[in-house]
Amino acid sequence: MPHVILHRGDKTFEGEVSENTNLVVKAGIRQFPFPNLRYGCGMGKCARCACRVVKGAEHLPEPNWKEKKQLGDERLNEGFRLVCQLWLFNDIELDQPTMPLLPLARTPVDALGRAITEDKTNGTSPATE
Amino acid sequence: MPELMNHVDFRAALEEAIKGKSANKAPFSIAWASGKLSRPHLARWAENHYHYVGPFADYLAYIYARMPERYTEAKDFLLANMYEEEIGGDRHTDLLIRFAESCGTTRERVVDPDNMSPTTRGLQSWCYSVAMREDPIVAVAGLVVGLESQVPSIYRKQTPTLRDKYKFTDEEVEFFDLHIVSDEIHGERGYQIVLEHANTVELQQRCLKICEIGAQMRLLYTTALYWDYVAKDIPIEELEAIERKAA
């Protein structure tokens, strides 16, 4: 059973999860690490779940295309990963920044935060977060 | 006479009920998995699939409205599922349309209800009927546990095939990627609602039955896709031979 340590600000949360667990899925059903893991879209777009891996990075697969696109080389090299893209099989220690990272490739959104597809923009500038 | 099951046994029974009529054995699924489909075949799939999954938030909204007020957490879960389907990130159907466009069809064709088969219309109607008429807990069992929770395992198998055999790019198949996470959350929320609130023998048995029916409906839909769009190009014998070889 992977042991998870999550740092956020000056607080630390610990828990055990089953093998092959996605922490965003767990938080989504209000189990550990809910309510202490911040997440958003659950689809590798918003980067709100991004955490720096303090320990256990060697057990994780290489970053996938969404992590490369939204985090970029610099933040990946600093140890950041998108937690919604990770399924855990081993112990891990994570540090989630107090302020969420901004994704590099941001989807244009309207005032309600809804994604705007190209044919709906009517030439207006996308809203910022 | 069936007896009231504890959560562990009830969950196992639900999982068994869903497995009963797996759509993975349908000829369309076999053709998909073996890389035999053409992009026009996949375009027809997308044009149909849109009308099955596109109204998912609508189905949930009917259940939400009829869910007893005292089941606050269940209502919150349904509301969160609706939000995530539609506006939590990219709208899921927009990603399906992106895949459809990469198969050679257009947004206009995908959203046009005249392009779905009668069987797809039947599946969509069944989903609406369950959402509007069944006990809300039974409806969650049918639509969220029976149908939506199955999506991660289906797409986990299909996505590598789309990349490796059909040569789609990562962005083109993002619709399938996102469901591995979001439907896992939605499916688990569904299980939690059903395990918590199906607290009589009768309700548990109705939940099991509707999961079986949901699996049958999905198999019916998938089978029709083969006969409506693929059979003229890929004979059934060819797919049966593939299935025999894999067994």
- Tell me the pTM: 0.86
DSSP string, B154-206: HHHHHHHHHHHTS---TTTTHHHHHHHHHHHHHHHHHHHHHHHH--SHHHHHH
What does the alpha-carbon distance between residue B75 and residue B72 come to, in Å, rounded to a whole number? 5
Which 53-92 residues of chain A touch chain B by CB within 8 A?
A: 65-66, 84-85
pLDDT, averaged per 10 consecutive residues of chain B (247 residues), comes to 95 89 81 94 98 96 98 94 83 92 98 98 98 98 90 81 94 83 86 96 98 91 96 96 87
Each residue's pLDDT tens digit, A49-84: 999 999 999 999 999 999 999 999 999 999 999 999
Q: Could B87 and A112 be called an inter-chain contact, meaning their C-beta atoms sit closer than 8 Å?
A: yes
Q: Does B242 touch chain A (CB under 8 A)?
A: no
Q: How far is A128 from chain B (nearest CA, A)?
A: 14
Q: How far is CA A57 from CA A46, A51, A53, A93, B29, in A?
A: 22, 11, 6, 9, 36
Q: Does B159 touch chain A (CB under 8 A)?
A: no
Which secondary-structure segment (H or E) carries B21?
Answer: none
Which residue on chain A is closest to B107 by alpha carbon? A119
Return the amino acid letter for A86.
Answer: L
- Token pair recorded at residue B234: 């890929």
Q: What is the pLDDT of residue B94?
A: 92
Number of neighbouring beta carbons within 10 Å of residue A92: 24
Return the amino acid letter for B153.
Answer: S
Each residue's pLDDT tens digit, B89-123: 778 899 999 999 999 999 999 999 999 999 999 99
Q: Could A29 and B181 be called an inter-chain contact, meaning their C-beta atoms sit closer than 8 Å?
A: no
* ipTM rounded to 2 decimals: 0.80
Q: Which of A103, A105, A98 is nearest to A46 (CA)?
A: A103
Return the amino acid letter for B11.
Answer: R
A125, A36 in Cβ contact below 8 A? Answer: no
CB contacts < 8 Å between A and B, how many? 63
DSSP string, A54-71: EE-GGGSPPP-HHHHHHH
- Asked if the model's pLDDT at residue A117 lies above 90, the reply is no
B101, B172 in Cβ contact below 8 A? Answer: no
Q: Which residues of A touch B188 (CB under 8 A)?
A: 25, 28-29
Q: Which of B100, B40, B49, B46 is nearest to B233 (CA)?
A: B40
Each residue's pLDDT tens digit, B44-74: 999 999 999 999 999 999 999 999 999 999 9
The DSSP letter of residue B232 is T
Q: Which residues of A touch B170 (CB under 8 A)?
A: 65-66
Q: Which of B194, B229, B205, B244 is nearest to B71 (CA)?
A: B194
- Asked if the model's pLDDT at residue A114 lies above 60, the reply is no
pLDDT band at A126 (very low <50, low <70, confident <90, very high): very low
Q: Could B89 and A114 be called an inter-chain contact, meaning their C-beta atoms sit closer than 8 Å?
A: no
Q: Does B160 touch chain A (CB under 8 A)?
A: no
Q: Does B107 touch chain A (CB under 8 A)?
A: yes
Q: Which of B195, B86, B92 is nearest to B145 (CA)?
A: B195
With vertex at residue A26, the alpha carbon angle to CA A48 and CA B5, rounded to the nearest 5 degrees, is: 160
- Asked if the model's pLDDT at residue A26 lies above 50, the reply is yes
Cis peptide before B113 (omega within 30 of 0): no
- Token pair recorded at residue A57: 């990075």
Each residue's pLDDT tens digit, A80-97: 999 999 999 999 999 999
Q: How far is A43 from chain B (nearest CA, A)?
A: 5
pLDDT band at A120 (very low <50, low <70, confident <90, very high): very low
B30, B239 in Cβ contact below 8 A? Answer: yes
Q: How far is B155 from chain A (nearest CA, A)?
A: 14
Q: From the candidates B170, B184, B191, B196, which should be mutated to test the interface with A, based on the most A CB atoms within 10 A?
A: B184
